[in-house]
Amino acid sequence: MAVQQSVGPDPYFPDNGDPRYRVHRYELTLDYRPGPNRLSGTARINAIAGRAPLPEFQLNLADFRIGRVRVDGRQANYTHRGGKLRVRPAKPLRAGAAFTVEIHWSGNPKPVSSPWGGLGWEELTDGALVASQPTGAPSWFPCNDRPADKATYLISITTPSAYSVVAGGRLLTRTTKASTTTWVYEQAAPTSSYLVGLSIGKYQTVLLGDPGLGGVPMHGHIPAHLLPQFSRDFARQPAMMDLFQRLFGPYPFDEYAVVVADEEFDVPVEAQGLSLFGVNHVDGARGSERLVAHELAHQWFGNSVSIADWRHIWLNEGFAKYAEWLWSERSGGRTAQQLAAAAHRLLSGQPQDLRLADPGRKSMFDDRLYERGGLTLHALRCAMGDEPFFRMLRAWAGLHRGGAVSTATFRSHVARHADDPLDGLLTAWLDRPELPPLPTQDARVA
């Protein structure tokens, strides 16, 4: 496993995260009451100081009431303003020292503001969910909110017993006492804070496919009235899982869950080991099947292999976009070449001012980034040939499993797997805003 930590603040979100330390594990104990939208929590955060002593450090946390803050069991001084919780331990932390932070907070969670609207904790008509990409995690727990700082999670959530709780990871226990139930989940794989997924609602749980002999357990959590449509719309997800494991390598987590909230979403949202869809993505006619493939592919590209900072988001979205095209090709739909041609026609009529390798914060979720990212991978596939290309993809997912990468890392990786130099191709697609010609080889999934 290769882990690449970015060494300074994220250039797109310099106020988020603190590169002077890294977190090893979060243990969150939460109590949530949907009616009054009331959340109280205790976090135990195990972390390691960086190469310099730490007289103080920073976490990100939205506007909650802070009950206490302790470092290594001792009361710490702190300030909490503008989404930043600055903590000053009783004595400075030594360089390289392991330390533990305990924080208690409470209040009414709500999304944090961003250029893309509210992010993070969202109160629903009957329940709640978390959709944090890219900076919404502090809306519900204190964290070092930078994508490269990946940690394991143990999350305990108590809610009224009428509600189900779904989180990314493995359900360890579910304990009912009187009118409340406590759900305990563990995510043992390194996870970026924005990828900690959570949904609280009234769901029916179904098994998707048969995990059988060593297969991946997959469950759906949906409102009961949508079960007939869901059963058709997600029927081919087990086949997607089989294909992606063949093309990308073993599924990187213990299990996979999908949730359909009883609300409409603009787009589905991926979390680690979990994807969240809206009722508008369930129509009984597989109308959103490409999005089912897209979110599943993110488990390899974006979740297991994460980005060092947000400049490199094409490594998430371009790969998931190309997975849509691969699924279409394999399942009898349009070929990747046909879909690449359609994307190229679309982009050719739009402004040529986006640099894929560093799109800028305003354009990091631009549709052009997704389409051009998919085209970049198709261009590589056409240049390399199927066998070397998919060998390169499997090696990328395997070598960097649980880690964080950059575009420079990907360039070097491609160079090691290509028979001929591809620097010019990558420069044209990644660094220059002008759209290169459409790759013309009709590549197909082996």
How large is the angle between the packed helices 237-248 and 289-297, nearest 10 degrees? 40
Q: Give DSSP secondary structure letters for 318-341.
A: HHHHHHHHHHHHHTTS--HHHHHH
| DSSP reduced 3-state for 427 | helix
Cα–Cα dist 340/204, whole Å:
38
Residue 400 marked in a binding site: no
Phi, psi of 278, deg, nearest 5: -105, 170
Residues 122, 295, 324, 371: which is the catalytic one?
295
Phi, psi of 333, deg, nearest 5: -90, -155
Cα–Cα dist 398/334, whole Å:
29
Per the annotation, the verdict on 255 as an active-site residue is: no
Residue 24 marked in a binding site: no
| Nearest alpha-carbon partner for 372 in 318, 439, 297, 293 | 318
| Cα–Cα distances in angstroms (integers) from residue 376 to residues 317, 322, 372, 380, 411, in the given order | 12, 9, 6, 6, 12
**Cα 177 from chain centre:** 33
> Would you state the structure tokens that stand for residue 227, as one six-digit string?
């079960």
**Residue in this structure with the two tokens 């719309």, named with its chain if needed:** 233
**Cα 286 from chain centre:** 24
Cα–Cα dist 297/323, whole Å:
6
Per the annotation, the verdict on 295 as an active-site residue is: yes
| Nearest alpha-carbon partner for 25 in 121, 144, 158 | 144
> Would you state the structure tokens that stand for residue 446, as one six-digit string?
């082996």
Residues 122, 163, 370, 371: which is the catalytic one?
370
Beta strands 57-60 and 84-88, pairing class = antiparallel
Tell me: cis bond preceding 238? Omega within 30 of 0 counts. Answer: no
- Residues in a beta bridge with 259: 221, 276
Residue 56 marked in a binding site: no
- Binding-site residues for Zn(2+) sit at 294, 298, 317
Known catalytic residues are: 295, 370
